[in-house]
Structure 1
Amino acid sequence: MLTVLRAAHPGPTAVVTAAGCALAAAAGRGVAGTVLVGAAVLAGQLSIGWSNDWLDRRRDRAVGRADKPLAEQAVAPRTIAVAAGTALVLCVPLSLASGVAAGLVHLVAVAFGWLYNLWLKAGPFSPLPFAVAFGLLPAFVTLGLPGEPWPAWWATVAGALLGMGAHFANVVPDLPGDLALGVRGLPQRLGPTGARVGAAALLVAASLVIALAPGGRTAPLAVAGLGAVALALAGGALMARRSVRRAAFAVTLAVAAVDLVVFVAQGSRLV
C-alpha cells in the first residue's frame, strides 16, 4: 500500500488537499462542506498523481528515477492504472456532492491535470493546466456556498499564479532528465536559471495579488506576508553568494509557504 501511495506524488497531493480544506473552512463551508471539498480534491489529486507516474513509467525507468515505484518496478503498472481510474471515478460524485456548478468546475480542474499528463507536459504550454486547475480551486470552494457565488477575481488570479509557480519550481530538480528524454515544457525550454527565476517571479506576483487586492485594503496579515517575502528574498540574496541553486530553492519554498498561509487566511474574503 505504501508503495502504491508513493506513486501518487504524496507530497503535492497532501499540500493541495490541505489547502482546499483550509480554504473551504475559512470561506464558511462548515464541517461537512470542508470534508466534501477535501475528499473531492484528494480523489482528483490521487488520480492525477497516479496517472502521471503510469504515463511516465518508461521515461522514469530510462533515467533511473529511484523515487518512482514504477521505475523501480516495485509495483505492477496495472495496479497504478487501476488506482488512477478508481480515484477518477470517485472524484465525480465527490465533486458533485458540493453542487452541480461547483462539481463541474472541479472536474474541469482535474481534467486539465490529466491533460497536462497526457499532452501538455512536453510542450510550451505546460503551465496552462496549472493556471487553470489552481485558479479554479477557489471557485470550487465558493460555488458550494449558499447562492453559488463566484470567487473574487484576485483569488482566481492568485491561484493561477501559485499553480504556475509550483510547476516551475517542481520542474527544476528534474531538468537534466527531462531534457535528455525530450520533455520540453516551458520551464525546460527556459533552462535551469530561467526556471528558477520564473518560479520566484510567479510566486512573488502571487504574493502581491494576495496582499493588495482583497477588498481594496491591506490586512495586517497581508503586510506581514509581504514582509516575510521580502526577508526571504533578502536571505536568498545572501545565500546566493555561496550557492545560487540552493538559494533559489530555499527562496522558492519560503515564498510559496508564505503565499499559501496568507491566501488561506484571506479565505473569508473569497466572495
Structure 2
Amino acid sequence: MPTPPAVLLLQAAQPRHAITAAIGLGAAAAVSGRPLREVGLVAATVLVGQGIIGWSDDLTDRRRDERHQPTKPLVRGLDPGTVWFALTCAVLLVVPLSVAHGRRAGLAYLAVVVVSAVGDRFLHARPLSFLPWVVSFALYPAFLAYGGWNGAGTSTPPTVAMTALAAALGLGVHVLTALPGLVQDHEEGERSLPMLLALRIGTPRLLLVAGVFTALVVVGIFVAGRTVGLT
C-alpha cells in the first residue's frame, strides 16, 4: 500500500529534527524565565522554521538521494511541486511568527532559517560546511534574548559566553549528524569538514572526539546559564 502524500510531505520536513529543536529552544526559553505563552511562541516558530529547513534540504539533495537513499520521500514519489508549495506556505507563516517576538529577535531567527537553507545548498560538500551550523546556532541566543510577545521585544543582547558556546554546539552537532552519511558522502566525492576529519583520524575516533566535545559544550552551557546567564 503506497504511503499517502501527506505522510511523505511530513517525513520530508524531517520532523524529528524539527521537534527536537522546538523542544530544546522552548525549554531554553522556559529556563531563562520567559512566560508560558512566549515559550509556546518560541516552540511554534522553531517548529515551522525547522520544517522549512528540512524541506529545503530534501529538495537540495533530491538527485543525491536517488542514488543512495531510496527511502527518502522525494525518491518514493512525493511531488517536488508539493514540497515547494508547503515550503512557500511555511515561509509565509514563519515571517509573522518571527516578527511576533520583536524586530531584533525576529531578524535573528529569520537569519537562522536563511543561513541554514542557503548554507546547506552551497557549503554542504565543502570544507566550510561547518560555517552555517556555527552561525545559525550562534544566532539562537540572540533570538531568545531579544524575544518578547506581540512584537514587543527587548534590547538586551545575549552574553558573549552563551553565544560562543552555542556556536561551539553547532559545530559539534554538525559533525555528529554528518557521521551516519559519510560513506555516501565519500562515494559522491564530497569533502565536508566531517569527511576531512574522518579521513585523517578515522570515523570511530571522530565519533568519540565529537561526542566528548559536544557533551562538554552542553555542560558549559548549563554552567554559563547558572552564572553569566543568557543576557
Q: What TM-score bracket applies, with the shorter chain setting the length?
A: 0.7 to 0.9
Checking the alignment, whether the CA contact within 8 Å between 2:145 and 2:154 is kept in structure 1 is no
CA 1:108–1:194 in structure 2 vs 1: closer, same or farther (change >3 Å)?
A: farther
Partner SS state of residue 155, structure 1: helix
Q: List per-residue Cα deviations over 1:113-169 (Å, max 9, x = no partner).
A: 112221011111111111111121121111014643112222212221222211111
2:105 alignment partner in structure 1? 102
Partner SS state of residue 127, structure 2: coil
Q: List per-residue Cα deviations over 1:231-256 (Å, max 9, x = no partner).
A: xxxxxxxxxxxxxxxxxxxxxxxxxx
2:3 alignment partner in structure 1? none
Q: List per-residue Cα deviations over 1:11-38 (Å, max 9, x = no partner).
A: 1111101111111222222122122211
Checking the alignment, whether the CA contact within 8 Å between 1:165 and 1:198 is kept in structure 2 is no
Count of aligned pairs between the two proteins: 218
Which of 127, 131, 134 aligns to 1:128? It is 131
1:173 alignment partner in structure 2? 180
Q: How many angstroms does 1:41 deviate by?
A: 1.0
Which of 24, 32, 36 aligns to 1:31? It is 36
Which of 59, 64, 84 aligns to 2:64? It is 59
CA 1:88–1:213 in structure 2 vs 1: closer, same or farther (change >3 Å)?
A: same
Worse overlay, 137-146 or 75-84: 137-146
Q: List per-residue Cα deviations over 1:51-79 (Å, max 9, x = no partner).
A: 1001101100111x144111222x11111
2:11 alignment partner in structure 1? 6
Partner SS state of residue 71, structure 1: coil
Which of 66, 69, 76 aligns to 1:72? It is 76
CA 1:29–1:207 in structure 2 vs 1: closer, same or farther (change >3 Å)?
A: closer
Partner SS state of residue 69, structure 1: coil
The residue identity in structure 2 corresponding to 1:56 is: D
1:119 is aligned to 2:101:
no
Uncovered stretches (5+) of structure 2, i.e. residues with no partner: 1-5
RMSD: 2.0
Q: List per-residue Cα deviations over 1:185-240 (Å, max 9, x = no partner).
A: 110122224642452243044135225444658xxxxxxxxxxxxxxxxxxxxxxx
Partner SS state of residue 200, structure 1: helix
Partner SS state of residue 75, structure 2: coil
Structure-to-structure mapping, 1:85-234, within 5 angstroms: 85-145=88-148, 147-191=154-198, 192-193=203-204, 195-214=206-225, 216=227
1:211 and 1:39 mapped to 2: Cα distance?
24
Identity of aligned residues (%): 35
Checking the alignment, whether the CA contact within 8 Å between 2:13 and 2:52 is kept in structure 1 is yes
CA 1:124–1:201 in structure 2 vs 1: closer, same or farther (change >3 Å)?
A: farther
Checking the alignment, whether the CA contact within 8 Å between 1:154 and 1:214 is kept in structure 2 is no
2:13 and 2:227 mapped to 1: Cα distance?
39
Uncovered stretches (5+) of structure 1, i.e. residues with no partner: 218-268
The residue identity in structure 1 corresponding to 2:30 is: A
The residue identity in structure 1 corresponding to 2:230 is: L
1:42 is aligned to 2:2:
no
